Amino acid sequence: MKNYFLIAVIPMLISTVSSAAESIACTPIDDPDGIVILMHKMNGAQSYRVTIAEGFAPKYIVDQTVNLAKNQNSDILSVKTEKREIKFTLSKGFLNKTAAEEENSSEGTIQISEANAKVNEKIICFIYE
């Protein structure tokens, strides 16, 4: 009976790992009604598209491809428009997690740079299906 259980569970674990971090939602820690960030994984292994909105009305970016970089301590997602550069810094390995995992959230920062201004804000992100 135990062997049958393992045969049933192992494929489920493998399929869950391969679909890590399909969708990510982020919001400022101090203002949960503020900017809403939705990232959806695309066909590539670590390729995301992002929509950034204030509330539900798109304000900053709508459905734009995000660049991914990794360093020793974090995963960095960035996107550039004509007027802004936006970077999301999340804990290392967060993008490899799934919604089913116990630790499926991460605190990080969003940095929005414009011509004469730079804003840093703490965010919390969650993985969802």
The enclosing domain of 40 has a CATH number of: 2.40.128
Of all residues in the chain, the percent with pLDDT exceeding 70 is 67
Structural domains counted in the chain: 1
Higher pLDDT, 100 or 112: 112
> Quick one: pLDDT band at residue 93, thresholds 50, 70, 90?
confident
Domain that holds residue 45: 2-128
Q: How many residues does the chain have?
A: 129
Cα–Cα distance between 124 and 15 in angstroms, integer? 26
Is residue 50 within 8 Å of 42, Cβ to Cβ?
no
Give how far the C-alpha of residue 15 lies from the chain's centroid of Cα atoms, to the nearest Å. Answer: 20
Q: Which residues contact 96 (CB under 8 A, 6 or more apart)?
A: 20, 21
What is the 3-class SS of 50-86, one letter each residue?
EEEEECCEEEEEEEEEEEEEECCCEEEEEEECCCCEE
Residue 21, both tokens: 């971090």
> Which among 111, 104, 108, 101 has a CA at the least distance from the CA of 122?
108
Segment 81-101 mean pLDDT: 82
Segment 71-80 mean pLDDT: 87
Structural element, H or E, at residue 5:
helix 2-18
Higher pLDDT, 16 or 71: 71
Residue 102 has a pLDDT of: 72
Dump pLDDT digits (tens) for 3-50: 333 333 333 333 333 445 678 888 888 876 666 677 777 665 566 777
Segment 62-83 mean pLDDT: 83
